[in-house]
Amino acid sequence: MLHKTGSRAVEQEGLTTQQWAVLGALSRDSARAGMSLGDLARYLMVSRQNLSGLISRMERDRLVQVVPDDKDRRSRLVVMTAHGQDIWQVQAQAKIHAYYEAVLGDFSVTDMTHTLHYLIRMLESMDRVDSQQLGGSDADPEDRIPDL
C-alpha cells in the first residue's frame, strides 16, 4: 500500500517509493559525497542485489551516478546528480512531506511513539531471526541491520 499510494504522490516526477528512498538517503549531509552500494543497502535495509538493479535504472534516468571513490579507487560510490538533486529538492520533497502529513495526520505523538517502538522491536527480531538462519558465525556482517 505504501508503494502504491506513495508512488502516486511522486509519479509526475517519474519516481517510485524505492527511488525516493535512495534519493532521501543520498540527500543527507553525511552522504553528500556518496555512499558505497553496500552502505546504501544497509542503510535502506535491502539486499545489494535488489539495490543494484534500482541504481542502474536511476543512473539511466540521470538521478544518480556511480563514481570511483577518491579515497579508494577500487571502490565505487553512488552519488546524486544535479538532476537528481533538482528532482529531490525542487519537486519531490514537498510532495513526499504532504503525503506523509496526509497519511499520519490523524496520529498523535503517543501513537507515533508507540508505532516507532514496535517497528524497531520488529526489525530487531527480524535481524535476530536472520542471524539465526544464517548460522550465526556464517552471517555476513555487511548485511546486518545497523544498531538503532
Phi first, then psi: give them for residue 85, nearest 5 degrees: -65, -40
128 sits in which H/E element: helix 109-133
The range of the structural domain enclosing residue 36 comes to 2-106
pLDDT per residue as tens digits for the range 64-123: 999 998 888 788 999 999 999 999 998 888 888 898 899 899 999 999 999 999 999 998
Instruction: Please tell me whether residues 68 and 119 are part of one structural domain.
Output: no
Whole-structure pTM value: 0.76
- Considering the domain architecture, whether residues 47 and 111 belong to the same structural domain is answered as no
Q: What total number of domains does the chain contain?
A: 2
* Same domain (yes/no): 22, 87: yes
Whether 91 and 45 share a structural domain: yes
CB-based burial label for 65 (10 Å; 0-12, 13-18, 19+): middle
The 10s digit of each residue's pLDDT in 12-71 is 788 888 998 999 999 999 998 999 999 999 999 888 888 999 999 999 999 999 999 888
The answer on 80 and 10 residing in a single domain is yes
